């Protein structure tokens, strides 16, 4: 079968790899000059199925409102007149109830655990190196941060996910570089969670897929999906048709206009986030594990001799411009925990748009058009879910049963 994959972010690259493994002829069409150049480029790198959680959570609406007039908040709402934004927010609000949060989180975790296993076996079998580190530590500055984490711990207990609740001293033993003078109430350590460099992995997997026969076609902008009767038959690229037996849309936020034109509505909204990457001083003690400052929802991830600082969620803004206040917040958090360890004045900044659905889990699988498949809407956890999502799409297109249930992970949930 000839399959077109639209988009060569981490999700598209993984999908192409697994499709080829199952014997398909695969063409990846990507508008950029290489793989993983958009949202997959500068993310925090965290692969934490134990921590994977929807943004639609109890307490979040109040949090968003409390930061409404702040410029240095971890979550920012910038109201616009765009009806898509308000429709998205209404749905999101409905999903913030505890009962919905629990359902959505369980769906996301099912996929994230499966994906982590796939990532482990793929990287081990192919020898892919991607600046991997083991273990994930959430840092709680205050009693309140610790208390807010209680429902998440209850769900870890229910799911049998191992974790350790640490006092500040134990956190500092695990992370000897942490600044003594920054208040720290405690931490939650997830030994089985991990982190790694997403674009580095994507580039390696692209090379492997290409050697196996996948055709990557860069600088190709897909304008339209072709539908004949009840079937998708190809796409229009640079004003020319390219035909295929199946098409997978893995174009993150820009899947929306492509799908709208063929009557498939997906409520993805871009949620902007930023990262800074700093070179560590040769003798400095930087982070040893991926860390999450819960107060600022900012991740600090070690990548060899660099540290990635990533966070901030801006709802409402479509422009991918770097905002000074957000970048200052990232550097302030890094300086709070690791003063002087990195060349902060030479930080490399990045901004990206998380392809966010209002409830949290991505959309995988079939649409009402035969041959048209979705692999999109992975929000803030696309790296953590990419291998599993890619494998599922390859199984579905090959008429094989996926290894995990797709309950709540398909477009059926919006019908």
Ligand X SMILES: Cc1cc2nc3c(=O)[nH]c(=O)nc-3n(C[C@H](O)[C@H](O)[C@H](O)COP(=O)(O)OP(=O)(O)OC[C@H]3O[C@@H](n4cnc5c(N)ncnc54)[C@H](O)[C@@H]3O)c2cc1C
List residues near ligand X by CB under 6 A: 6-12, 29-32, 36-40, 43-46, 221-222, 250-252, 254, 258, 273-275, 299, 310, 352, 354-355, 376, 378-384
Identify which of residues 12 and 388 has a Cβ nearer to ligand X in the complex: 12
With b for 16 or more beta-carbon neighbours within 10 A and e for fewer, the 391-404 pattern comes to: bbbbbbbbeeebeb
Tokens at 237, concatenated: 């690229």
Q: Under a CB-based contact definition with an 8 Å cutoff, are residues 18 and 393 in contact?
A: yes
In the complex, the smallest distance separating the C-beta of residue 10 from ligand X, rounded to whole angstroms, is: 5
In the complex, the smallest distance separating the C-beta of residue 223 from ligand X, rounded to whole angstroms, is: 7
In the complex, the smallest distance separating the C-beta of residue 193 from ligand X, rounded to whole angstroms, is: 10
In the complex, the smallest distance separating the C-beta of residue 191 from ligand X, rounded to whole angstroms, is: 18
Identify which of residues 11 and 168 has a Cβ nearer to ligand X in the complex: 11
In the complex, the smallest distance separating the C-beta of residue 313 from ligand X, rounded to whole angstroms, is: 8
Identify which of residues 14 and 397 has a Cβ nearer to ligand X in the complex: 14
Identify which of residues 131 and 254 has a Cβ nearer to ligand X in the complex: 254
Identify which of residues 3 and 168 has a Cβ nearer to ligand X in the complex: 3
Identify which of residues 17 and 168 has a Cβ nearer to ligand X in the complex: 17
In the complex, the smallest distance separating the C-beta of residue 380 from ligand X, rounded to whole angstroms, is: 5
């Amino acid at each position: 079968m000839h399959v077109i994959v639209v988009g060569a972010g981490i999700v598209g690259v993984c999908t192409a790899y697994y499709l080829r493994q199952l014997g398909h002829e695969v063409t990846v069409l990507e508008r950029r000059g290489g793989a993983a150049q958009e949202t997959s480029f500068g993310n925090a790198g965290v692969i934490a199925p134990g921590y994977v959680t929807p943004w639609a959570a109890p307490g979040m609406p109040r949090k968003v409102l409390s930061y409404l007039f702040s410029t240095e908040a971890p979550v920012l709402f910038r109201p616009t007149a765009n009806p898509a934004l308000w429709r998205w927010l209404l749905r999101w609000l409905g999903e913030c109830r505890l009962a919905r949060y629990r359902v959505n989180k369980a769906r996301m975790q099912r996929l994230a655990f499966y994906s982590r296993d796939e990532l482990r076996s793929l990287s081990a079998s192919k020898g892919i190196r991607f600046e991997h580190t083991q273990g994930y530590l959430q840092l709680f500055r205050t009693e309140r941060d610790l208390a807010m984490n209680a429902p998440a711990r209850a769900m870890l207990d229910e799911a049998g996910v191992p974790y350790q609740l640490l006092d500040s001293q134990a956190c500092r033993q695990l992370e000897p570089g942490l600044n003594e003078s920054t208040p720290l109430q405690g931490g939650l350590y997830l030994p089985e969670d991990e982190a790694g460099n997403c674009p580095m992995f994507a580039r390696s997997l692209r090379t492997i897929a290409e050697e196996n026969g996948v055709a990557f076609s860069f600088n190709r902008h897909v304008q339209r999906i072709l539908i004949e009767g009840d079937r998708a038959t190809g796409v229009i690229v640079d004003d020319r048709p390219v035909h295929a037996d199946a098409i997978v849309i893995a174009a993150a936020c820009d899947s929306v206009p492509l799908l709208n034109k063929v009557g498939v509505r997906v409520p993805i909204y871009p949620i902007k986030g930023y990262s800074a990457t700093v070179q560590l001083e040769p003798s400095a003690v930087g982070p040893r594990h991926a860390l999450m400052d819960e107060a600022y929802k900012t991740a600090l991830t070690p990548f060899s001799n660099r540290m990635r600082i990533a966070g901030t969620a801006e709802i409402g803004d479509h422009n991918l411009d770097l905002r000074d206040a957000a970048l200052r917040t990232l550097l302030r958090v890094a300086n709070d925990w690791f003063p002087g360890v990195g060349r902060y004045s030479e930080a490399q900044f990045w901004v990206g748009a998380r392809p966010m659905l209002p409830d949290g889990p991505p959309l995988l699988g079939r649409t009402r058009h035969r041959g048209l498949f979705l692999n999109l809407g992975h929000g803030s956890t696309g790296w953590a879910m990419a291998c599993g999502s890619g494998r599922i799409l390859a199984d579905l297109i090959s008429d094989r049963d996926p290894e995990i249930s797709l309950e709540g992970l398909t477009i059926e949930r919006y019908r």
